[in-house]
Chain A
């Protein structure tokens, strides 16, 4: 029996090969007509505002979203093995999991919610 990840790699390699081939071929087949305006950043026809890929600042809100995601997603991941092994774990673990949900999700959620962490504008 082969490693169960090998077929996955075959499929990804196929996909990646197709994608790289297509993009590469387009470079060869496609026309190249240089035009200075074409190489500018697109801003609906106005002069592109001088802003930068490197050094551009992200709004802090996105960091908050990212942190909330990390916290809640890790907690969600804890639920998976628990759900899979549910039958063997019994009542004690059921109650423990409810306690975990109460502490980690509901209280945390209530706090973030009430203090405006879920307000986007």
Chain B
């Protein structure tokens, strides 16, 4: 019997973190099926935390020493993959901690008891009375995270697409599971799903054209094909690259493709919003970096102006629209759009330093975002989250520590010195200035946009400290140690990365190598 099929080389040590996270998700499904309902929540939280910690341990013990291309080149575990996967695991851990928050109840507070029920129906009420809980959120988060980890390490377009779907599909479900304001949540989920499917289609069209051009989906192969001339096929190349970039830029929420961001951020359960804002952005930028730096850098002159325009638009629109927002979650959504633009400026530097800056920015931004959304989930009025800005008036007088932490995080978003936001912006913008005129123009726009966003953030701080409360019953809920820990980690990291960024920048510098 001839054995023609050659099994690909697999470096198990290199992909161990991904496998651990996926296995955690699968075991989570089994737990969901067989563990009694009362104990499910605690078992799921414990399982997720253990899986993530194990994955992190595997990453720092096994994977760092096995920086290889494996699985036949479809997974590339280089410095960037390791750094970004490590960041993703940390985000996942913080995200799981915030999702587990119960605020003194017996079930996770942010999630509906029965996602399939019609909002406000008797069925939903019965599910609530029966004490049901959607503890599937933890396996879903793990699956999504495993997709993200694969996304940043994908070495060919097909693996990238599979990873894109694996990370997206659980998120669509998670977005639709908010306990309160169900209709808004379902609408957000549907919008996110439809637009996401649309963007996936763009990505696939682009991949198909690239395959037509290069006769391979391998990023290295595409890079090699670009250096040769391919008579008759040249017209395929630039549309292909732009289509793939559209698919990827959708995930980061860059401007012409950002319209889902405010709705999805607002409708999603707040812990999910935090997780999504931090981790999805990081994963998508990881994929953009790899696609742009490894795959198609050779033809960069033909599309970098387009990307620069998108970056500029993203910064301006994100910053300007955040001024008009009255809902704190929407405001943070527009701020995240603006940040996507800032990060794109770093991407456009096309240098190792730029890579370092972008990775550092992603880590710093993710940590502050998760903490910020965790605080948003704690501020409540009458049992629901108080997301209207007017409700936040005077919060600083009643909850000084909470308001101070939030204010500090806002300053970090604005990029005030001594916060991680400043070092991150500096690390991303400095290489861009060195890269040429285009970079300088973008940085000028970025600084101006930062000034606009700073105005928005300072306005919230003023609101919290210097105006009188409109109603007295807006309170910061007594959070469990889990959320407190997540907020503390985020805030402390923001301080540390702002004052002594050296070690982490050094780590990012070491990690900024791409295996081609």
A and B touch in the complex (CB under 8 A): yes
Chain A residue at minimal CB-CB distance from B1: A87
Give Cα A114–Cα B2 distance, bound, in whole angstroms.
43
> Is residue B496 contacting chain A, with contact meaning CB distance below 8 A?
no
> Do the beta carbons of B30 and A107 come within 8 Å of each other?
yes
**Nearest chain A CB to B66 CB, angstrom units:** 20
> Do the beta carbons of B26 and A103 come within 8 Å of each other?
yes
| Interface-facing stretch out of B3-11, B246-254, B277-285 | B3-11
Ordered by A's residue number, 23 sampled pairs between the chains whose C-beta atoms are within 8 Å are: A88-B1, A88-B2, A88-B3, A88-B5, A89-B3, A89-B5, A90-B3, A93-B5, A93-B7, A107-B26, A107-B30, A108-B29, A110-B29, A110-B30, A110-B33, A110-B34, A111-B32, A111-B33, A114-B32, A114-B33, A114-B34, A115-B32, A115-B33
Contacts of B116 in A (CB 8 A): 60
Contacts of B30 in A (CB 8 A): 107, 110-111
Q: Encode contact with B along A82-121: 1 for CB under 8 Å, 0 otherwise.
A: 0001011110110000000001000110110111000000
Contacts of B1 in A (CB 8 A): 87-88
Chain B residue at minimal CB-CB distance from A112: B33
Give Cα A103–Cα B29 distance, bound, in whole angstroms.
10
Contacts of A60 in B (CB 8 A): 116
Q: Encode contact with A along B51-73: 1 for CB under 8 Å, 0 otherwise.
A: 00000000000000000000000
The residues in B between 2 and 43 inclusive whose CB is less than 8 angstroms from any CB of A are: 2-5, 7, 26, 29-30, 32-34
Give Cα A107–Cα B30 distance, bound, in whole angstroms.
6
Contacts of B4 in A (CB 8 A): 88
**Nearest chain B CB to A11 CB, angstrom units:** 35
Contacts of A108 in B (CB 8 A): 29
Contacts of A114 in B (CB 8 A): 32-34
Give Cα A31–Cα B274 distance, bound, in whole angstroms.
71
Give Cα A114–Cα B29 distance, bound, in whole angstroms.
11
Residues of A within 8 A of B (CB): 60, 85, 87-90, 92-93, 103, 107-108, 110-111, 113-115
**Nearest chain B CB to A64 CB, angstrom units:** 9
Contacts of A88 in B (CB 8 A): 1-5
Main secondary structure of the interface of A (DSSP, over half): helix
**Nearest chain A CB to B71 CB, angstrom units:** 12
Contacts of A93 in B (CB 8 A): 5, 7
Q: 5 more A-B contacts (CB under 8 A) besides A60-B116, A90-B3?
A: A89-B5, A107-B29, A107-B30, A114-B34, A115-B32
**Contacts known (A103-B26, A107-B26); A113 close to B7, Cβ less than 8 A:** no
Contacts of B7 in A (CB 8 A): 90, 92-93
**Nearest chain B CB to A63 CB, angstrom units:** 10
> Do the beta carbons of B32 and A90 come within 8 Å of each other?
no
Contacts of B3 in A (CB 8 A): 88-90
5 tightest A-B contacts by CB?
A92-B7, A114-B33, A111-B33, A110-B33, A90-B3
**Nearest chain A CB to B176 CB, angstrom units:** 16
Contacts of A115 in B (CB 8 A): 32-33
Chain B residue at minimal CB-CB distance from A64: B116
Chain B residue at minimal CB-CB distance from A110: B33
Contacts of B34 in A (CB 8 A): 110, 114
**Nearest chain B CB to A118 CB, angstrom units:** 12
Give Cα A8–Cα B1 distance, bound, in whole angstroms.
35
Give Cα A85–Cα B3 distance, bound, in whole angstroms.
10
**Nearest chain A CB to B16 CB, angstrom units:** 16
**Nearest chain A CB to B267 CB, angstrom units:** 22
**Nearest chain A CB to B427 CB, angstrom units:** 40
**Nearest chain A CB to B172 CB, angstrom units:** 14
Give Cα A110–Cα B33 distance, bound, in whole angstroms.
7
**Nearest chain A CB to B39 CB, angstrom units:** 14
Chain B residue at minimal CB-CB distance from A115: B33
Contacts of A113 in B (CB 8 A): 33
> Do the beta carbons of B33 and A90 come within 8 Å of each other?
no
Contacts of B2 in A (CB 8 A): 88
Give Cα A103–Cα B26 distance, bound, in whole angstroms.
7
From A89, A108, A111, name the one whose CB has the most chain B CB atoms within 10 angstroms.
A111
Chain B residue at minimal CB-CB distance from A109: B33
Give Cα A90–Cα B3 distance, bound, in whole angstroms.
7
Chain A residue at minimal CB-CB distance from B4: A88
Give Cα A113–Cα B116 distance, bound, in whole angstroms.
17
